[in-house]
Amino acid sequence: MLAGGVGGARFVRGVREAVRRATDAPLANAAIDVIVNTGDDWWLAGLRIAPDHDSLLYTLSGQNDEVRGWGRVGETERVAAELQAHGVTPEWFTLGDLDLGTHIARTAWLRSGLTPSEVSSRLQARWPLGVTLHPATDDEVDTYVVTTDGDRMHFQEWWTRHRAALPAARFEQDGIDDASPSPGALAALEAADIVLVAPSNPVVSIGTILSIPGMRDAVLGAGSGAAPVVGVSPIIAGAAVRGMADACLTAIGVETDAAEVARHYGPRSAGGLLDAWLVGVEDEPLVAGLRADGVAATAVPLWMRDLDTSAALAAAALAAGLEHPRA
Ligand code: FO1
């Protein structure tokens, strides 16, 4: 799976549940690997913060704050108050006490020479998730946003401080041309039977993963070229399910529409990515047009309200992959 933060975490949890419930091959006992976006990562107060990774880590280990949508449940903010009093963290980005434990451990390991992938493995060793997370790359390729006013800021400031309200002209990942997919991501793709594109932000999450040199080819060549690529729309009835994907899509000139996002990813038959695409039942009218454009689209219930609906969506995505073997 290719996944970003919150929407991705719910979907990954659904896939894990669908596999747990499966009784026969190929889903029963299937291994699940998640290639996680690292573009949201940033340095703050001397610590390396990895929001999408930690959303998955906390959600899949059952300790995420479902209400806030990020961070850990039962969090306190005593150290954060001190950091803000010292002015080393802005008031719009809070590092909880438990969360700081993760960031200090990660930063200590990085400073001792471990790669982000090795750091991720250590965090997962403490909290076995039932899936394996792989940072998309071990290179630092933070996303920066250039606004239409010409300001340039880190994605986290644009997203968290400004809630993506400043019109973005483009997104830039410094150093992306020298980056390469992490070893774990490449190995997972090579061994994959199906590749699922989570309903994460198509621009700053999935797009950033795919912009890492070599990643797109590795996805298209997954499973020695035999693995179908199945995407799930992050847009339902013209609106982003979570977050501000609409602001990101607008910035790259893509309409906030379940069919337009599929056309943005492109059908494999036309040099794109997708062998199949799931839209919400609300968007069933879009299916015929997508199929005419070479995208094998299906309309299914897309809202992930709980574990059952997440598992049902995941099962539908996996079924679409099994029905649509590589074109
Ligand atoms: N999002 C906020 O809206 N406010 C915060 O103070 C905040 C702190 C934070 C700390 C650690 C972390 O891993 C994520 C945090 N987030 C916060 C969420 C984060 O900015 C976004 O969820 C992702 O970057 C979106 O992909």
Tell me the pLDDT band of 82, cut-offs 50, 70 and 90. Answer: very high
Residue 232 has pLDDT above 60, yes or no: yes
pLDDT for 181: 98
Residue closest via CA to ligand 1's atom 10 equals 95
Q: What is the mean pLDDT of residues 65-85?
A: 95
d(CA 244, CA 64): 20
> Which atom of ligand 1 is least distant from the CA of 163?
3
pLDDT at 286 over 70: yes
pLDDT tens per residue across span 200-225: 999 999 999 999 999 999 999 999 99
Residue nearest to atom 14 of ligand 1 (CA): 51
CB contact burial 165-180 (16+ within 10 A = b; e otherwise) = ebebbebebeebeebe
Question: How far is the centre of ligand 1, averaged over its atoms, from the C-alpha of 95 (Å)?
Answer: 9
Cα of 93 from ligand 1 centre, angstroms? 7
- Looking from the CA of residue 51, the nearest atom of ligand 1 is 13
Tell which atom from ligand 1 comes closest to the C-alpha of 99.
11
Residue 296 phi, psi (nearest 5): -75, 85
- CA of 201 from ligand 1 middle (Å) equals 15
Give the domain 2-44+130-146+174-323 fold: Rossmann fold (3.40.50)
What is the band of 135 on the pLDDT scale with cuts at 50, 70, 90? Answer: very high
CA of 153 to the centre of ligand 1 (A): 16
pLDDT of residue 69: 86
In this prediction, residue 74 has a pLDDT band, given cuts at 50, 70 and 90, of: very high
Nearest CA to ligand 1 atom 18: 70
Q: Give the pLDDT confidence score for residue 325 in this predicted structure.
A: 67
Q: Is 77 exposed, middle or buried (0-12, 13-18, 19+ CB in 10 A)?
A: middle
Listed by start position, the domains of the chain span 2-44+130-146+174-323
Residues with CB under 6 A from ligand 1: 4-5, 40, 49, 51-52, 54, 70-71, 93-95, 99, 156, 159-160
Span from the CA of 80 to the centroid of ligand 1 (angstroms): 14
Exposure class string for 235-270: b at 16+ Cβ within 10 A, else e = bbeeebbbbbbbbbbbbeebebbbbbbbbbbebbee
φ/ψ of residue 93, rounded to 5: -140, 110
For residue 94, is pLDDT > 70?
A: yes
Q: Distance from the CA of 61 to the center of ligand 1, in angstroms?
A: 18
- Closest residue CA from atom 12 of ligand 1: 51
Helices (H) and strands (E) in the chain, counts: 13, 14
Q: Which of these, 241, 156, 149, 165, lies nearest to 202 by C-alpha position?
A: 241
Indicate whether 115 pLDDT > 70. yes
Measured from the CA of 95, which atom of ligand 1 is nearest? Answer: 10
The reported pLDDT for the residue numbered 18 is 97
82 CA to centre of ligand 1 in angstroms: 19
**Cα–Cα distance, 317 to 153 (Å, whole number):** 36
